[in-house]
């Protein structure tokens, strides 16, 4: 293991004009991983040449991004039942200092407000009506129609803080709150607009619901109705979904009406980010998102035909 002086000597070589030396240094620093970042930041502040600073910044990004890609791969294989963890990994791409506990605390604030209004005898529709009041009226969540394709709409921490997002991220936050209260809402991977499905499942004692571990992760029940989180939690039927598919000229498939997996949700978030960064002509970020998507087993975005990114406003 290299000591700090040896690492700093390596970092100094990033200022070399020999590309082969630079590639060798980069490979060595990548092997060191996060341990090299404080020393890279220290050297950045002392660098005299702009090119040296830029190479250091690029090195920090490479190290952080490599860790995020690996974390996403592990999550998909071992921990995909924890949707928040997957979204947290994606958000760390833009916010490397983000803490998962920060996300949990924000979701718990909303969950507590809903729990305080929960009654034993509420019907499924009444639960959604109550959820809508807390989510939209009390906490002020709203679809970001003015900046629909802003990449920030796909980062969960930004949506939790600013109460604005795209269809999938508003739905995900809504769903994470609901599932922590044993309200059986699950993601529906509808083409061009992500929605939620309320599944017919047995409920538990409401006195046990305000617990961090009371989270549903799978569902095999019948979908009773659907919820559009982007449109103030509007409730609609399967017939409405079929009509929407007809309008956008996509043939109905069973998968468009049934709950999807957490991995599918994270894939869609990444596809939305690809589209958003393409609109900004940020090829570097598009490539990064494509790489993250690839570890979840997906081809490049231009291969997709059926499950497209969010693009249509569904009422």
Q: What pLDDT, on a 0 to 100 scale, did the predictor assign at position 214? A: 36
Residues 6+ apart with CB under 8 A from 27: none
Which pair of structure tokens corresponds to residue 291?
């790489």
Whole-number pLDDT of residue 167: 95
CB 32 within 8 A of CB 2: yes
Residues in a beta bridge with 75: none
Please give the full DSSP string across 108-144, using - where no structure is assigned: HHHHHHHHHH--TT--HHHHHHHHHIIIIIIS--EE-
Whole-number Å distance between alpha carbons of 148 and 164: 10
Q: Please state, as a whole number, how many other Cβ atoms lie within 10 Å of the Cβ of residue 24.
A: 14
Q: Which residue reads 């009226």 in tokens?
A: 137
**What predicted TM-score, i.e. pTM, was given to this entire model?**
0.84
Where are the domains positioned within the chain? 4-78, 85-303
- Answer whether 104's CB lies under 8 Å from 72's CB: no
Chunked mean pLDDT (size 10), the chain, 315 residues: 81 84 86 85 80 86 90 94 97 94 97 91 94 97 93 97 96 97 94 93 41 44 92 95 93 93 96 95 95 87 47 50
């Amino acid at each position: 293991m290299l000591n700090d002086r040896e690492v700093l000597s390596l970092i100094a070589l990033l200022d070399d004009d020999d590309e082969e030396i630079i590639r060798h240094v980069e490979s060595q620093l990548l092997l060191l991983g996060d341990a090299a970042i404080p020393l890279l930041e220290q050297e950045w502040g002392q660098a005299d040449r702009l090119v040296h600073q830029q190479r250091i910044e690029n090195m920090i990004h490479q190290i952080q991004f490599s860790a995020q890609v690996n974390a996403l791969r592990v999550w998909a294989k071992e921990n995909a039942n924890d949707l928040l963890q997957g979204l947290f990994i994606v958000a760390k791409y833009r916010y490397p200092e983000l803490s998962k506990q920060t996300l949990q605390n924000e979701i718990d604030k909303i969950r507590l407000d809903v729990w305080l209004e929960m009654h034993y005898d509420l019907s499924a529709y009444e639960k959604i009506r109550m959820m809508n009041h807390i989510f939209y009226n009390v906490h002020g969540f709203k679809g970001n129609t003015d900046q629909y394709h802003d990449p920030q709409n796909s980062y969960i921490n930004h949506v939790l803080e600013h109460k604005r997002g795209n269809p999938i991220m508003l739905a995900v936050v809504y769903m994470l709150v609901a599932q922590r209260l044993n309200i059986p809402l699950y993601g529906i991977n509808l083409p061009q607009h992500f929605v939620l499905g309320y599944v017919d499942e047995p409920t538990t004692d409401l006195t046990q619901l305000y617990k961090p571990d009371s989270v549903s992760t799978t569902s095999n029940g019948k979908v009773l109705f659907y919820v559009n989180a982007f449109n103030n939690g509007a409730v609609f039927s399967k017939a409405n979904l079929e009509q929407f598919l007809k309008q956008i000229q996509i043939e109905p498939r069973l998968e468009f009406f049934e709950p999807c997996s957490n991995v599918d949700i994270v894939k869609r978030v990444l596809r939305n980010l690809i589209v958003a960064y393409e609109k900004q002509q940020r090829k570097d970020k598009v490539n990064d998102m494509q790489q993250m998507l690839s570890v979840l087993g997906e081809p490049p975005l231009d291969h997709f035909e059926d499950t497209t990114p969010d693009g249509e406003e569904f009422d």
